Amino acid sequence: MRRKTFLQLLPSALGYMVMGNLLAAIMTFSMAIFIAHQLAVVLAAIFAIAIYIMLISVPAYKNGTEERMLLANKRVESVPMKRWLYIGMIIFAVTIIPTILFLTRVIDTGLFRLTSGAVYPLSLLISPVTEEGIRPMFSFTPYITGSFYLVSIPTCYLAFKFGLNDTFNADKIMYKK
């Protein structure tokens, strides 16, 4: 087992980020029939955020466990701690692109909500329902939804530290009769 390089980790992290946005968008679109109810919008926002955070933390946690094994087997001397901070910053930069394109009027509202699947329910919470059932977006909505993606940076770093420190190891759980 060898240490994965930064360029080997980045595509998997970006893939999980895309998958998180896509799954959150699919979940929100499948709840479209219930979006008129505020409770459904709140639940959609909570689940979309949870899906996104859990999926972007998977490659960082796995890499943390691999680095722990490398340290235990004395194959490496130390662990590059800031690598996942940089990957989190790159994930943030990639996820903020639809917001920038929306603010410069390159893409329309529908495409913005599709490409920003994890924050789509959050934009529904901010935007009220009109009499026609349409939820217009306020001018400040992209700033709020775009700032949500800042959570990518500490999530990647903390997931790596949790994997490195063996925080959530299921084998250490003791069951008593």
- Which range marks the domain in which residue 81 is found? 6-166
pLDDT (0 to 100) of residue 117: 83
Q: Tell whether 174 is covered by a domain.
A: no
pLDDT-above-90 percentage for the chain: 41
Q: Tell whether 53 is covered by a domain.
A: yes
pLDDT (0 to 100) of residue 129: 61
Mean pLDDT over 139-166 rounds to: 88
Q: What is the DSSP string of the chain?
A: --PPPHHHHHHHHHHHHHHHHHHHHHHHHHTGGGTTSHHHHHHHHHHHHHHHHHHHHHHHHHHHHHHHHHHHTTS-S---TTHHHHHHHHHHHHHTHHHHHHHTTSS-HHHHHHHTTTTHHHHHHHSPP-TTS--PPPTTHHHHHHHHGGGHHHHHHHHHHHHHTTTT-GGG-----
pLDDT-above-70 percentage for the chain: 89
Q: Tell whether 76 is covered by a domain.
A: yes
Q: Tell whether 43 is covered by a domain.
A: yes
pLDDT (0 to 100) of residue 133: 54
Confidence of residue 125 (pLDDT cuts 50, 70, 90): confident
Q: Tell whether 1 is covered by a domain.
A: no
Average pLDDT of the residues of the chain: 85
pLDDT at 148 over 80: yes
pTM for the predicted model, two decimal places: 0.85
Q: Give the count of domains, the chain.
A: 1
Confidence of residue 138 (pLDDT cuts 50, 70, 90): low
Q: Tell whether 61 is covered by a domain.
A: yes
Q: What is the pLDDT of residues 26-75, one digit of tens each?
A: 998 888 788 778 888 889 889 999 999 999 999 999 999 999 999 999 88
pLDDT (0 to 100) of residue 175: 58
